[in-house]
């Protein structure tokens, strides 16, 4: 990838806040610097919003709301469809931008453009399918009308790990439902959202319908927006720790909330599984996004009879991975998002080894510039190791063995999270039993990646509230009104 292409692309990304259809500097002149995690070098300086800018963004969203809410559904849908087409036209730009600011390999970034773009098309199709009900009450004395209405101005907070998809997964259903929004991307990867705002502008988005604030003071800026009585909905994707704090703040205004939080996915392999498929699925479930996904397999729970062979095959694959900047050909392992993430992986792996785990591959940071951690495999991970209860968010496989199905279920459910679970078995009945027994919002049965715009994505337990995508996703941005009218026949 030529440096000139990267330079030109970065120059094309707006560096201001997008408020009321205008690009502007922060009121107090604040800025923040975005870095490339593969080199540690700065790539662009952009505006950093303060509390006043957050309020200005909510002013714009509130002002635009009545017109947008009453814009014909077909027009809203067509705008989303134009945005989808523009994302396809600029897919190489979006992919490269995500690789630069987030570090994922370019091939995966292209996959995210396809996945993230799809939310625009999916919700452009869903928009016209929101329906109500009309019917007589049981006594026959009246007529009941049930109708759906946009909830109002929304605040959307996204994480750094999927910079395009996490934004479109919220913006598209909100706009389809008739809501206006203020979007706050993560300070580590804000460029993709700014570039996407430009796409929306080019697609003909009316001023104020989408506002983007980038900031290095997420806490105070968000708190002021959430406390503002004009806000009606908060949608957050990020850690459970921050999500809990935001839920407390949202209680003040009794806001509608959607919370897509952390995960600790079990990946269960039974001895009747197709081991080749299970290994392929394991590599996808673990190493997609360099292990930095809420859906990443965190604990490999493998039946004793096949555990050694599974570990041997996974280790062989891992030892063949190429590590480097995501723009290099054939790279599987890019950098972690920052040095803090590297330290966390180091601590978790050290703790697991201290408690008796066996290191089969990798096992530490990689010297040189950038935040790299070697793809790692640990076997015989002991109960009580921190790595089994915390999100690893790095390229580390942890394998432990189990004897029978009851033990597999107990181990898989032994977590406060419940986002996704993976199960490999060739037995239909066993697969069905696992669907019924696992405490999880989503499940991959002989499949290592479950994300899809048409699926209701979301978790049980501490993994969150609400669903994004699918037929459910638009309802997160709608509220129900019931009206009783008289019997028109007297």
Binding positions for ligand NAD, rule: CB under 6 A: 157-162, 166, 184, 186-187, 218-219, 222, 237-239, 242, 245-246, 260-263, 294, 391, 419, 459, 464
109 with 195: CB under 8 angstroms? Answer: no
The encoded tokens of residue 188 equal 């580590």
CA distances from 21 to 44, 261, 287 (A): 22, 31, 39
Question: Residue number with the shortest CB distance to ligand NAD?
Answer: 238
Closest CA to 179 of 152, 155, 148: 152
- The residue from 101, 112, 260, 476 that is catalytic is 260
> For the chain, how far is it from start to end, CA to CA, in angstroms?
75
Write down the least CB distance from residue 292 to ligand NAD, Å.
Answer: 7
Which residue, 103 or 178, has its beta carbon nearer to ligand NAD? 103
Distance between CA 406 and CA 351 in Å, rounded? 27
Is 108 considered catalytic here? no
Is 179 considered catalytic here? no
Which residue, 144 or 454, has its beta carbon nearer to ligand NAD? 454
Closest CA to 32 of 235, 156, 184, 227: 184
Instruction: Give me the count of residues in the chain.
Output: 490
The torsion region of residue 361 among left (phi > 0), alpha (psi -120 to 50) and beta comes to beta
Write down the least CB distance from residue 294 to ligand NAD, Å.
Answer: 3
Write down the least CB distance from residue 158 to ligand NAD, Å.
Answer: 6
Percentage helix, strand, coil for the chain under 3-state DSSP, each rounded to 5: 40, 20, 35
**Which residues have a Cβ under 8 Å from the Cβ of 251 and sit 6 or more positions away?**
none
Pairing of strands 256-260, 464-465: antiparallel
Write down the least CB distance from residue 408 to ligand NAD, Å.
Answer: 23
Which residue, 157 or 450, has its beta carbon nearer to ligand NAD? 157
Closest CA to 100 of 164, 31, 43, 25: 43
Closest CA to 165 of 225, 89, 245, 110: 110
Which residue, 262 or 334, has its beta carbon nearer to ligand NAD? 262
Write down the least CB distance from residue 204 to ligand NAD, Å.
Answer: 27
Q: Where are the alpha helices (DSSP H) in 301-338?
A: 304-319
The encoded tokens of residue 173 equal 């259903």
Which residue, 210 or 401, has its beta carbon nearer to ligand NAD? 210
Write down the least CB distance from residue 325 to ligand NAD, Å.
Answer: 21
Which residue, 401 or 420, has its beta carbon nearer to ligand NAD? 420
Which residue, 148 or 439, has its beta carbon nearer to ligand NAD? 439
**Which residues have a Cβ under 8 Å from the Cβ of 487 and sit 6 or more positions away?**
136, 140, 141, 142, 143
What's CA 201's distance to the chain center, in Å? 23
- The residue from 179, 294, 391, 468 that is catalytic is 294
Write down the least CB distance from residue 362 to ligand NAD, Å.
Answer: 22
Residues designated catalytic: 260, 294
């Amino acid at each position: 990838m030529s440096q000139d292409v990267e330079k030109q692309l970065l120059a094309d990304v707006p560096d201001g806040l997008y408020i009321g259809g205008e690009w502007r500097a922060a009121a107090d002149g604040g800025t923040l610097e975005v870095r490339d995690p593969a080199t540690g070098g700065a790539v662009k300086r952009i505006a950093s919003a303060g509390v006043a800018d957050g309020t200005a963004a909510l002013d714009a969203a509130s002002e635009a709301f009545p017109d947008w809410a009453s814009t014909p559904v077909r027009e809203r849908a067509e705008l989303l469809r134009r945005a989808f087409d523009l994302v396809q036209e600029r897919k190489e730009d979006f992919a490269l931008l995500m690789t630069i600011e987030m570090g994922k390999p370019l091939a995966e970034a292209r996959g995210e453009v396809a996945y993230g773009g799809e939310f625009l098309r999916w919700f452009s199709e869903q928009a016209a399918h929101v329906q109500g009900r009309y019917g007589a009450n049981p006594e026959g004395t009246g007529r009941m009308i049930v109708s759906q209405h946009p909830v109002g101005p929304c605040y959307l907070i996204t994480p750094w790990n999927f910079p395009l998809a996490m934004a479109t997964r919220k913006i598209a259903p909100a706009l389809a439902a008739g809501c206006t929004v203020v979007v706050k991307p993560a300070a580590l990867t804000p460029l993709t959202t700014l570039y996407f705002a430009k796409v929306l502008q080019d697609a003909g988005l009316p001023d104020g319908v989408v506002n983007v604030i980038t900031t290095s003071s997420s806490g105070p800026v968000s708190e002021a927006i959430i406390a503002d009585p004009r806000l009606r909905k908060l949608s957050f994707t990020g850690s459970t720790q921050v999500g809990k704090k935001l839920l407390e703040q949202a209680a003040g205004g009794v806001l509608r909330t959607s919370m897509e939080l952390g995960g600790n996915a079990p990946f269960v392999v039974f001895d009747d599984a197709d081991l080749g498929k299970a290994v392929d699925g394991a590599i996808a479930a673990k190493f997609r996004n360099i292990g930095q996904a809420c859906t990443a397999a965190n604990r490999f729970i493998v039946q004793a009879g096949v555990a050694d062979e599974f570990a041997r095959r996974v280790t062989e694959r891992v030892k063949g991975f190429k590590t480097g900047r995501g723009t290099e050909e054939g790279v599987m392992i890019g950098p972690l998002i920052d040095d803090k993430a590297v330290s966390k992986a180091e601590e978790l792996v050290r703790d697991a080894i201290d408690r008796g785990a066996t290191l089969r591959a990798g096992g530490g940071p990689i010297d040189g510039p950038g935040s790299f951690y070697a793809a790692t495999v640990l076997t015989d991970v002991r109960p009580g190791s921190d790595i089994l209860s915390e999100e690893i968010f790095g390229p580390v496989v942890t394998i432990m063995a189990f004897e029978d199905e009851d033990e597999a279920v107990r181990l898989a459910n032994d977590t406060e999270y419940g986002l996704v679970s993976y199960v490999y078995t060739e037995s239909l009945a066993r697969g069905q039993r696992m669907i019924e027994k696992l405490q999880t919002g989503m499940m991959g049965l002989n499949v290592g990646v479950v994300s899809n715009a048409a699926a209701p994505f979301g978790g049980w337990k501490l993994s969150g509230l609400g669903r994004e995508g699918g037929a459910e996703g638009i309802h997160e941005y709608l509220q129900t009104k019931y009206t009783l009218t008289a019997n028109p026949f007297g």
